[in-house]
A and B are shown apart, each in its own frame.
Chain A
Amino acid sequence: MKPMNRVFNLLIATACVLTISRSAGAYIDAGSGSYLLQILFAGILGGFFVAKTAFRNLILVITRRIHPQENSDSVTHVR
Chain B
Amino acid sequence: MSADHKLCASFRDPSGFIFMKEGDLLRQVNPPYEPHYKKLMGSGLYGQLTGKGLLISHEEVDTGLAMSEGAIAVLKPDRIPFISYPYEWCFSQLKAAALATLEIQQSAIQLDMVLKDASAYNIQFHKGRPTLIDTLSFETYVPGTPWKAYKQFCQHFVAPLVLMSHVDVRLSKLTASFIDGIPLDLASKISKSATKFSPRVAMHLHLHAQMQAKAAHSTVPAQTRGAFNKNSLLGLIDSLQGLIEKLSWKPEGTEWGDYYSDTNYSSSSMSTKHQVVNEYLDLVTPQPAMVWDLGANNGEFSSLASARGIPTIAWDIDPAAVEKNYLKRSNDPYMLPLMQDLTNPSPAIGWNNKERDSFLQRGPADVVMALALIHHLAIGNNVPLADIATFMNDVGRWLIIEFVPKEDSQVQRLLSTREDVYPGYTQQGFEREFGQRFELVRATAIPDTRRTLYLMRGKG
Residue interface mask B1-22, A partner, CB < 8 A = 1: 0000000000011110000000
User: Is B234 at the interface (CB under 8 A from chain A)?
Assistant: yes
Interface residues of B in 48-91 (CB under 8 A from A): none
B154 / chain A contacts, CB cutoff of 8 Å: 34
Q: In residues 209-239 of chain B, which contact A (Cβ within 8 Å)?
A: 210-225, 227-232, 234-236, 238-239
Minimum distance in angstroms from B199 CB to a CB of chain A: 11
Task: Encode A20-55 as 1/0 by CB contact (under 8 A) with B.
Answer: 111111111111111111111111111111101000
Complex CA–CA separation, A23 to B220 (angstroms) = 6
| CB-defined contacts of B337 to chain A, threshold 8 Å | none
A8-B214 in contact given A33-B208, A35-B146, A41-B203 (Cβ < 8 Å): yes
Asked whether any CB of chain B lies closer than 8 Å to the CB of A18, the reply is yes
Specify which chain B residues have a CB less than 8 angstroms from the CB of A47 in the assembled complex: 235
Of all chain B residues, which has the CB nearest A13?
B218
> Does A79 interact with chain B (Cβ within 8 Å)?
yes
C-alpha spacing A52/B213, complex, angstroms? 32
B220 A30 Cβ-Cβ under 8 A = yes
How large, as a class, is the contact surface on chain A? Answer: 35 or more
Is there an interface contact between A31 and B228, defined as CB atoms closer than 8 Å?
no
Docked-complex contact B220 and A32, CB < 8 angstroms: yes
Q: Which of A41, A48, A50 has the most CB of B within 10 A?
A: A41
Taking CB atoms, residues of chain A closer than 8 Å to B231 are: 45-46, 49-50, 78-79
Judged by a CB distance under 8 angstroms, whether A60 is at the interface is no
B238 touches A52 (CB 8 A): yes
A63 touches B (CB below 8 Å): no
Q: Is the CB of A37 within 8 A of B208?
A: yes
Q: Which residues of B contact A41 (CB under 8 A)?
A: 203, 232, 236
Q: Is B150 an interface residue (CB 8 A)?
A: yes
B-side contacts of A23, CB under 8 Å: 220, 222
**Is B150's CB under 8 angstroms from A34's CB?**
yes
Taking CB as reference atom, which chain A residue is nearest B110? Answer: A79
The reply to whether A45 and B218 contact each other, CB–CB distance below 8 Å, is no
Q: Is A61 an interface residue (CB 8 A)?
A: no
Asked if A12 meets B221 with Cβ closer than 8 Å, knowing A30-B148, A79-B231, the reply is no
Which residues of chain A come closer than 8 Å to B402, judged between CB atoms? Answer: none
16 pairs from A and B in contact (CB 8 Å cutoff): A16-B218, A20-B223, A24-B148, A24-B221, A28-B148, A30-B220, A33-B211, A33-B213, A34-B208, A37-B207, A46-B231, A47-B235, A49-B235, A50-B231, A78-B231, A79-B230
**Supplied contacts A27-B14, A45-B236, 8 more A-B pairs, CB within 8 Å:** A28-B152, A32-B221, A35-B146, A35-B220, A35-B221, A45-B235, A47-B235, A48-B238
